Each structure stands twice: as structure tokens, then as C-alpha cells.
Chains A and B, each alone.
Chain A
């Protein structure tokens, strides 16, 4: 027993060296070379200034921006404390909250019919940091953003199309629009107006 425990100790230390040191080191080197941002989260820049992590959503509340999904991470898009709502499908309190989100969404987009409100814009994402919305969820916001920016809806629509990422190889998975990248493109378009 004691001798096996001692062997266990030595073997565990050996495994630490193999995995927690060697394996980590190989991947770390690989990330320095092949990672998008040398092992850190990939970032998005505007005029040479970092305005966010490409894959991490952020809060947008102003009318001049496209909005992302509701978030339950901390106080909303807290990237140091990811989290979903964990509300069950039958929870009355939760359903009332969705109902009020629909109303709020309609107040800001008075031109929409109720049946056009995409469900993902009134339900919280799993991580609370969802960086994307569906193209449909972007289309319904175009008119509001265009009006707030003084841009033509066609131009804003073109930006949405340019920022829509298709399915993987055109075959697998949903289409999506990265909200931050779209808003950065929007800022650039507004500057060159």
C-alpha cells in the first residue's frame, strides 16, 4: 500500500511533466505561430483602436447600432462571468419576461408586425456572450439603424449582406452575422458618408 502510494506520487508527477508541461508547451508554441492573436482572444479594431473581442458579444443599446441577443452573463455581456438564464420552458416568470422583451423590441421597431420578431432577439443565449445574430434578426433592425444614422436603408442592408457569414462550406450549420463586426463596418460607412 505505502509503496504503491509512493509509486503513485512519482507517476503523477511524471504525468504532470508530460501533460501539464510538455503538451501545454507544444500547443502554446503552436498558438504563437498559428493562432489568430498569438494565443489571446481575437480582436476587432476601429481606426487602429481595439473595440472588442471578435468572438465575444457586447452590449448594444443605442439606436445607431445593431443589437445582439439578450444576455444573462453578469449584468449583461460580462465576459468574465459567462452564464445562461437556465429558465425552464414552463416558467411563468420567464415567459412574462419574454413577453415584455417583445413589447420593448416592438416599441423600438414600430414598423414590424409581431409575427416578424425573431425569437432569438427576445431569448437569452447559452453563454450570455453570443457574438452573432441570424441574418433575419439583422434585417428587421435595418430600418431603425438607417433612420438613426441618416443612411439609406439600401446601404445598411448591403452592409448586413456583406457581413453575413454563410454556413460552413455552404453545407453545414446556420448562417450568422457578427454584431460587433457589422457595427464596426457601420461606423466606417458613417464616417465616409
Chain B
């Protein structure tokens, strides 16, 4: 077996092996049990005292959500203002300009909702100040927001009957100080040793061997990259994200960065098992997610290492795989693995250009985001799965004639309505968005031309570029078929809206379901209870997800990647 495949397999094994103890640790943190990071407690207490927050007040699900949404609203103003006025702020050695109003709107929303869609390029679109006080700050705190929401859901699922689901501020803080910060420090140190820049000197001016001048962008990259990976943020320091040789200098950094994408989402599933003391449930959920993830990894690795058939037809040596948009030090297999890892989670960082991947690899990338429940973003990913669990419980309850119950709580009409809205909002936003874009493309070419023409590729692939953009926005992923010229009024505003809807609607819906279920009377398990931790139920959930989520998208996928596949594999 070749070294590239061994590398990919090792990365997956390392994720799973290390996610397990991390999950155990996370469950302890959220339960408030003793951990070895308790020396952070005085810092947390000090901050809470300064802010006038009492971290011990238990909140109902409504006040929990109110706190969550209010601080997010505040972050919106914080981000837009700093981005818009960045040229007047300090730490701008490269003299970069402020962002336009529609770009700062899009950028701020995109980082606030943990998506990190980037319609600018890091080298020229941001200053060191906004990189640190908007981008990196948001990468920590918005990831922590998702984690805090999940911790609330855990609490709700674990208690028999409760009106409260924990304290939002406390869970937010602990996600930052106990989980994200220590992990980011470790990853950051590895990156620095391997050659990722971490300084404030501005561009480096060089004379190359052939005597031309080269300006090398650098800066505090090694601080931002760890959290962009760990927090399933994905917004790169440099324009081309982790395919940049300073952002991802060696195969080792690539392994560490790719590991960092998935380890927390995986750990969250294990954490659920430890928190609820229902390990079997966690394993069955983990099994479903892992199966789907590995299937997409296998498909993408196959197509990327085999290369582009149109280039094979030219009669040259393509044994290295489809290298357009990929890096030599990483290889085709590592980019295939990363492309799946980043799309099953809502990460969205890339180590190669997705726009240039083979048609069916591109389809798997989109499908992963369209389903959006395999591991998913830190915190929010599992919550998407939770909505589908509720639907699966309800449907299988009807099928076998048992009362639909989940963890001792009756699932009734109100929860079902919320779960259905959450599950259907995602395809709605993606398909309507793409349809509107296509409408403009066909019926208003003058408008599209005035916006720079949008597409970088003709035909089926051009359609895929638009479909990918809304998929990525709605999945809060942030990767792109980056050929799309998306820094325009149309794309900045429409994807901005897609981002808001698909971040807050699910969070509100899922926390509400958990809160509503938690208030209900606890029904002890009996012979009539539908078992939710069996392999049968795992298959059932998988089928529900696949039917509801995947099939909604197949007509659209047929027009894009599938049609393109048939056009080049003859």
C-alpha cells in the first residue's frame, strides 16, 4: 500500500482513538466535575465578576436562548464596525483597506454563525487587527456558542423532568477555557515548530533566485489556524486556506490540522454517551456517522487518486492523481480525505481547490453538507442529528405501533412540528437560493455581467458552483467552489441571509425541542418502549436522514455533478 493511503488511514485512526478520551473529558467539564484544568477557575470567576454575571443561575430554555441570541446580536455590530473601519485601526502594516458595506455584512455574519464563508482574500481583505479581534475571536466564541447550546441539550436530555437546562454564560466560558483554548495552544505550537509564521512584521520583501521581486504575506497565522480547525470554523488566514504552504507547510501539519477538524465533533458524540450514561446510544450514533463519513472518503479518494480522465486521454503520466488545485507535499489522497472531513463537519477549510475536484468528489462534498448531520459542526452538528432522531423515533413509533418516546419522554405534535421545520429549512434555503441565482443568470444576463459574470466554468460545472455556494452557506460550512466570483452585492447579501436562517433557526428549534421534552413527565422504560440504541434503530435513523435530506437534493445534483460526470467519463 502506498504512503499516501497509509497517511490517510492513520489520520482517521488518530481521530477516533483520541476523540474517545476527549469525549470523556468534555462530559466531565459540562457536568462540572473535577478536571486537571481547574486552575482556570479563578480566571473564569474573575471575568464573571467583572462582567456582573452569575454563572450559577440555572436558566430555562427560553432565557438560555435569549442570552445566546443577545450576545450574538452584539457580536454582529462589533464585527461589522471593526471590519468596515479596519484601515483606521492599528496593526495594519500592509496598509489594507476597509471592507465595503456588503462585504463586511457578509464577512461578519459568516464568522458570527461559525460558517467562515470568505468572499475576500485574507492577505488583502483583512488587517492583523481584524484577523485577531474579529476573525480569531469569533472563531473561539462562536464555536463555544454551539458547544454551549449542545451542553444545554445534554443537560435537558439527561434530567428526568426539569425546567432548566444550565447556565449559558457558564457553558460558553467553559467551552472556551477548558476545551478550545488548551487544544488550540497545543496545535499552535506544533505549527510554529513546523514553520507556520507567527509574527507582526508585515510582508517580507525578497529577491528571488532569478532576480525578480517577491512579496511574501505572513503574520500571526499560527494562532488562527488551530482554532479555525478545532472550532469547525474553517476561515483561512491566507486566501487559499490550508493549501497555502505557510498555513500548512508539511505533511505533519496537514495530519494535525485534518485531525483537528474532526476530533471535537467526534468527541461530542462520545461525550453524549458519558454525560447521559448511555454509551450504547452514543456508539450507535457514532457508527452511523462514521459509516457515512468513510463511504464519502472512499469515493473521493478513488476519484482523486485516479486522476482526471480528460487529462489521461492526453497521454501523459497522471499517476500522482488529479493534481490541478492540489499540492505536491500533501498529495491527492490527503486532499480527498480533507475534502470529506471538512464537509461532514461544518468546517469548510480546504487543502486543495474543491472547484477542481472530479465531478463525483464534488458531489460527495455537496452531499455531506446537504445532509449536514454526520458529525457536523462542534455542538450544532449533533443537534442536527438530534432533530432527525426525533423524526426517526416518531416514524418508527408509528410503524411498529408504539408510543414514540425518546429517553423516557413522549414525542408529540409540537416537537415534531419543530423538528420538521428544522429539517426542511435546509433544503428550502439551498434550492430556492440556487433557483434564484439561476433565474438571474438566465433572464438577466446584464445584471450578472455587471457583477463580473459570477461563474468561472461553463456548463454543468458552472451550475455546481452556484449550488455549492448556497449549500456551503446553508450548512454553515464556508468552503466553496472558489471560482465563483462571489464578492458582489448579490452573493454577499443572499448568502448572508442564508447563513443567518440556517444557523439560528436550527439552534433555536433544537434547544426548544430539548427544553420542551425536558419539561415533560419522565416515563420509565418498559417492554413497550422503542429501543433507540440498537443497530436496527441506527439503520432506521440513517434511512430517515438519507430519504429526507439526500433525496431532496438529487434532482439538483443530477443537473450539476452527475451530468458533468457523464460528460467526461465516456
Q: If the complex has contacts A5-B70, A26-B185, are A59 and B222 also in contact, measured as CB distance less than 8 A?
A: no
* B254 lies within 8 A of A173 (CB): yes
**Once the chains are docked, how many angstroms separate the CA of A36 from the CA of B199?**
12
Task: Pick the residue among A56, A82, A176 that contacts B329 (CB under 8 A).
Answer: A176
- Minimum CB–CB distance from B39 to chain A (whole Å) comes to 14
Task: Pick the residue among B3, B94, B215 that contacts A167 (CB under 8 A).
Answer: B3
* B328 lies within 8 A of A174 (CB): yes
* B317 lies within 8 A of A173 (CB): no
Give the interface size class of chain A: 35 or more
Chain B residues with CB below 8 A from A168, complex form: 7, 250-252, 255
Which residues of B from 344 to 380 have beta carbons under 8 Å from A? 350-353, 355-359
B214 at the interface (CB under 8 A from A): yes
**Once the chains are docked, how many angstroms separate the CA of A65 from the CA of B206?**
18
* B240 lies within 8 A of A128 (CB): yes
Q: If the complex has contacts A12-B75, A52-B209, A89-B310, are A38 and B329 also in contact, measured as CB distance less than 8 A?
A: no
Chain B interface: which of A116-124, A142-150, A152-160? A116-124
- Total contacting residues, chain B, CB less than 8 A: 119
Which residues of A from 30 to 75 have beta carbons under 8 Å from B? 30-31, 34-36, 38-43, 46, 50-62, 65, 69
**Once the chains are docked, how many angstroms separate the CA of A174 from the CA of B210?**
28
Which residues of B from 166 to 185 have beta carbons under 8 Å from A? 169, 176-177, 181, 184-185
**Once the chains are docked, how many angstroms separate the CA of A176 from the CA of B323?**
14
A151 at the interface (CB under 8 A from B): no
A-B contact count (CB 8 A): 372
Task: Pick the residue among B212, B308, B311, B325 that contacts A85 (CB under 8 A).
Answer: B325
B10 at the interface (CB under 8 A from A): yes
Q: If the complex has contacts A80-B203, A118-B316, are A88 and B327 also in contact, measured as CB distance less than 8 A?
A: no
27 A–B contacts, CB within 8 A, in A order: A5-B73, A5-B74, A11-B47, A31-B192, A52-B208, A55-B195, A58-B212, A60-B209, A79-B215, A80-B217, A81-B121, A81-B239, A82-B123, A86-B481, A88-B456, A88-B457, A89-B359, A95-B311, A115-B316, A116-B317, A119-B316, A126-B335, A126-B352, A127-B327, A130-B245, A136-B317, A168-B7
User: Other than the known A40-B197, A125-B243, A168-B7, what 18 A-B pairs have Cβ atoms closer than 8 Å?
Assistant: A10-B52, A11-B47, A18-B181, A23-B223, A24-B223, A27-B220, A27-B223, A28-B199, A41-B204, A58-B210, A87-B355, A89-B461, A90-B568, A132-B327, A173-B7, A173-B334, A174-B251, A174-B329
